[in-house]
Amino acid sequence: DSGVTQTPKHLITATGQRVTLRCSPRSGDLSVYWYQQSLDQGLQFLIQYYNGEERAKGNILERFSAQQFPDLHSELNLSSLELGDSALYFCASSVRGRGPNTGELFFGEGSRLTVL
């Protein structure tokens, strides 16, 4: 158990719909990262937040957005869903405190999204 909690574990929805994925980082971890893993693209970095502020952005689509709340949990919102958005979405948090360069990331078990 990494200490990072993601909900829901599985989600099935239809094209055009909107979903929200939730991530609770390890207690005290200030950084949250979102990754998408599909069969053909591998693990792709989407976005990172540090203590409520956006820190880095990867290949995140404009239809996707995220935020980190004052209690440090994070949500990834996916809208106007397409078949190609079907994937595993992972959240990770980095070690407690300011997250030094060498800090390891702790990953949740992922949310599996299926778009029909």
Partner 1 sequence: DAKTTQPNSMESNEEEPVHLPCNHSTISGTDYIHWYRQLPSQGPEYVIHGLTSNVNNRMASLAIAEDRKSSTLILHRATLRDAAVYYCILRGGANSKLTFGKGITLSVRP
Which pair of tokens denotes residue 80? 């106007």
Residue 55 exposed, middle or buried by CB count within 10 Å (0-12, 13-18, 19+): middle
5 binds partner 1 (CB under 8 A): no
Q: How far is the CB of 62 from partner 1 (least distance, A)?
A: 19
Beta carbons of 72 and 86 less than 8 angstroms apart:
no
Task: Out of 26, 50, 64, 66, point to the residue binding partner 1 (CB under 8 A).
Answer: 50
Identify the burial level of 52 via C-beta atoms within 10 angstroms of its C-beta, where 0-12 means exposed, 13-18 middle and 19 or more buried: middle
Q: Is 106 in the site for partner 1 (CB under 8 A)?
A: yes
Which range touches partner 1 (CB under 8 A), out of 17-25, 64-72, 78-86, 95-103?
95-103
- Minimum separation from the CB atom of position 53 to partner 1 (A): 11
Given the structure tokens 């290949």, which residue do they identify?
59
Choosing from 5, 13, 22, 55, the residue that interacts with partner 1 (CB under 8 A) is 55
Tell me the closest approach of the beta carbon of residue 43 to partner 1, in angstroms.
Answer: 4
